[in-house]
Amino acid sequence: MFEDIPSFKNWLKIEKINRGYSSEQKFYIETHDHQRLILRISDIANYEQKKKEFEVIQKFFGLGFLMSKPIEIGICNNSQHVYLLLSWIDGNDLEIELPKLSQEMQYTLGRKAGEILKKIHSLEVSASDIPQTTKIQKKIRQIELYENSSLRISGDEIALDFVKKNIFSIWSKPPVYLHGDFHPGNLILTENKEIGVIDFNRYEIGDPYEEFNKLESFGTEVSIPYCIGQIDSYFNNQVPNDFWEILAIYVAHTSLYSIKWAESYGLEEIRTMTSICRKSFAHYNDFKSIIPSWYPQKN
């Protein structure tokens, strides 16, 4: 698979990475000249998509925050696959490290993450990249898939009604480049307590407020102070009310649809997403409130 990658002869160590939901194959690489890299392999059918992804990652890299540096893109394995080669960030997964830290440090790291996210969203979107349609119709279809499935949970009626009544309020902001999966599981904590960003393969262009959706799904499980810090920092401590209104819609939609999405991954994943859904219902008082209970009310 690797022999027609130009730098392959300089590789000393290759280890497969088995984590995440991506269909890509990922490998950790060490070279003879002591470089540490990550290799991402996809089917050749994704070549144009991956070429565009590489270009966007290059734009992100120019913003000046710590992230995987894009090194090269090419075709390998007798033209059956496309590969991306990026630099490795030394450190530990933020989601593992956060619970070990003081709440004050967790909040501080959340603020650092919020600053990074603001930089990502500040990148000017090329006119040719602006979507011609929003994701509203896609999300309506997704919620219908859940509603018509055998996986519905008891007490979901209020959340379903909330999504249906408010779904046309999303995408009210100008579209921006999104990381697409921004949460502690895709962030690295370095030795000097800086944050590095990895896994840009779900990047997209869309509603900046949707980027915060993963805080509820994955962030609050790890560190509520981090989640508060990310929001406070992004909005310079002045969180607008329309943010909470829109985020609640995304959370309600994701909470429900994720259960249906998990179906192809098996019973254990369905149980996990059902648990996250129940947690979100509690945080939002069954979506009678638009501000989650974990965020402190500030005068």
* pLDDT tens profile 56-68: 999 999 999 999 9
Q: How large is the angle between the packed helices 103-122 and 224-234, nearest 10 degrees? A: 40
Q: Are residues 42 and 148 in the same domain?
A: no
Q: Are residues 45 and 121 in the same domain?
A: no
Q: Are residues 13 and 60 in the same domain?
A: yes
Examine the fold and report which residue of 87, 102, 137 is the final residue of a domain before the chain moves on: 87
Q: Are residues 125 and 149 in the same domain?
A: yes
Q: Are residues 109 and 81 in the same domain?
A: no
Q: State both tokens at 252.
A: 């309600």
Q: Which domain holds residue 38?
A: 6-87
Q: What is the CATH number of the domain that holds 58?
A: 3.30.200.20
Which residues is 206 bridged to in the sheet? 176
Identify the pLDDT of residue 299.
55
Q: Are residues 226 and 178 in the same domain?
A: yes
The total domain count for the chain is 2
Q: 48: Cβ–Cβ under 8 A, 6 or more apart, which residues? A: none
Number of H helices, E strands in the chain: 10, 10
Is 34 contained in some domain? yes
15 to 22, 25, 224: CA distances (angstroms): 17, 11, 33
Q: What share of the chain is helix, strand, coil (3-state, %, to 5)?
A: 50, 15, 30
- Helix ranges (H only) for 27-155 are 47-61, 94-97, 103-122, 136-147
Q: What SS3 state is found at 16?
A: strand
Identify the pLDDT of residue 1.
81
Q: State both tokens at 218.
A: 């994955």
pTM as predicted: 0.93
Edge-to-edge strand list for the sheet holding 195-197:
92-93, 187-189, 195-197
Q: Which residues of the chain have pLDDT under 50?
A: none
Q: What is the rounded distance in angstroms from the CA atom of residue 210 to the CA atom of residue 160?
A: 18
Q: What is the rounded distance in angstroms from the CA atom of residue 86 to the CA atom of residue 84?
A: 7
Q: Are residues 98 and 197 in the same domain?
A: yes
What digits encode the pLDDT tens for the residues 130-157? Answer: 998 999 999 999 999 999 999 999 999 9
First to last CA, the chain: 59
What digits encode the pLDDT tens for the residues 187-220? Answer: 999 999 999 999 999 999 999 999 999 999 999 9
Is 296 contained in some domain? no
